[in-house]
Amino acid sequence: MGMLVVGSVAFDSVETPFGKVDDVLGGSATYFSTSASYFTNVALVAVIGEDFPEKHITFLKSRNIDVSGLERASGNTFRWKGRYTYELNEAHTLETHLNVFQSFKPVLPESHRDYEVVFLANIDPDLQREVLAQVKKPKLVACDTMNFWIQGKRDSLVETLELVDILIINDGEARQLSGEPNLVKAAAKIRAMGPKTLIIKRGEYGALLFTNDGVFAAPAYPLEKVFDPTGAGDTFAGGFMGYLANTMNFDDASIRKAIIFGSVMASFNVEDFSLNRLKSLDYSEIEDRYREFRRLTHFDDI
């Protein structure tokens, strides 16, 4: 049980209509592993620079995240700067500094090579494949990416997609990757690239699942307070994969339930900047919101 994740560990500077923060803890793998840690054991593979404070590592350890694959290199930690307008569904990237990720050559500790569930969080698709190649017998491989890599490293990304079972991306990324504005047609094109299961996140409008069994739609939790959407996608993926790694059952019904857990986790994350809300979260709150999701989507055939 448990799973392996490779992705970014970052300092984020974020501006939303409701506030602004500089150099706070962020990164796709950070959000993912924190969210997944509520469901299963997670081993994190990433690189940080000399400027990364010990207190953030202490936090990850406090969530029981295995940081033995988190390498410290000379140089600066990855930095991302983004802005959201009132249309909170779309992040506008202002700056991306790969820094120590530019020369990162991940070598997995021996104990990490036996994981059966692997998540390739948003990072250079070359790195995603380098990590996957070191895992002996992966049973479930899922992946995320973003416009930065779809545009900048498309060929490498297509190679990664051939190796994954599940792709989790947002609607804008699905359109960009497929070159197709209609999401149903885009899904068919993307599934033909490799991932037989595709989840398209639509921000406040929820998520769509495309599999051989057809389409499933889940709403997002209607929140009164949305403060900062940064990390919502990674947090969704963490809840989704965390649930699957916990049950090790990957059938269609489990995948649907996992989407609800992903949506629950994302709904908490957007309530505050950085990982602040995930840090204060209690498992009973996750269960309560899961029940509210059931009520939200239930109807009788009368």
CB of 214 to ligand AMP, least distance (A): 27
CB of 25 to ligand AMP, least distance (A): 8
Q: Provide CB contacts within 8 A for 164, sequence distance 6+.
A: 120, 141, 142, 143, 194, 195
Distance CA 233, CA 283 (A): 20
Q: Quick one: 117 or 232, whose CB is closer to ligand AMP?
A: 232
- Residue numbers at the binding site for ligand AMP (CB under 6 A): 8, 10, 12, 26-28, 31, 80, 91, 96, 122-123, 146, 148, 230-234
CB of 269 to ligand AMP, least distance (A): 8
Q: If you search the block for the tokens 């997670």, which residue do you land on? A: 42
CB of 157 to ligand AMP, least distance (A): 12
Reading the block at residue 36, the tokens are 């997944």
Q: Quick one: 39 or 149, whose CB is closer to ligand AMP?
A: 149
- Which strand ranges, in their side-by-side order, compose the sheet holding 92-97? 19-26, 10-16, 78-83, 92-97
Residue nearest to ligand AMP (CB): 26
In terms of DSSP bridges, do strands 42-48 and 66-72 run parallel, antiparallel, or are they unpaired? parallel
In terms of DSSP bridges, do strands 92-97 and 78-83 run parallel, antiparallel, or are they unpaired? antiparallel
Q: Quick one: 4 or 123, whose CB is closer to ligand AMP?
A: 123
CB of 127 to ligand AMP, least distance (A): 10
Q: CA-CA distances (angstroms) from residue 200 to 74, 127, 175?
A: 37, 23, 10
Q: Quick one: 95 or 251, whose CB is closer to ligand AMP?
A: 95
Considering Cα of 172, then 244, then 40, then 261, what sign does the dihedral take? positive
Distance CA 147, CA 158 (A): 13
Distance CA 98, CA 278 (A): 25
CB of 123 to ligand AMP, least distance (A): 5
CB of 136 to ligand AMP, least distance (A): 26
Q: Quick one: 10 or 132, whose CB is closer to ligand AMP?
A: 10
Q: Quick one: 187 or 232, whose CB is closer to ligand AMP?
A: 232
Q: Quick one: 178 or 230, whose CB is closer to ligand AMP?
A: 230
Q: Provide CB contacts within 8 A for 126, sequence distance 6+.
A: 153, 156
CB of 82 to ligand AMP, least distance (A): 7
Q: Quick one: 66 or 234, whose CB is closer to ligand AMP?
A: 234
The full 3-state SS of 124-190, as one line of letters, equals CHHHHHHHHHCCCCCCEEEECCCHHHHHHCHHHHHHHHCCCCEEEEEHHHHHHHHCCCCHHHHHHHH
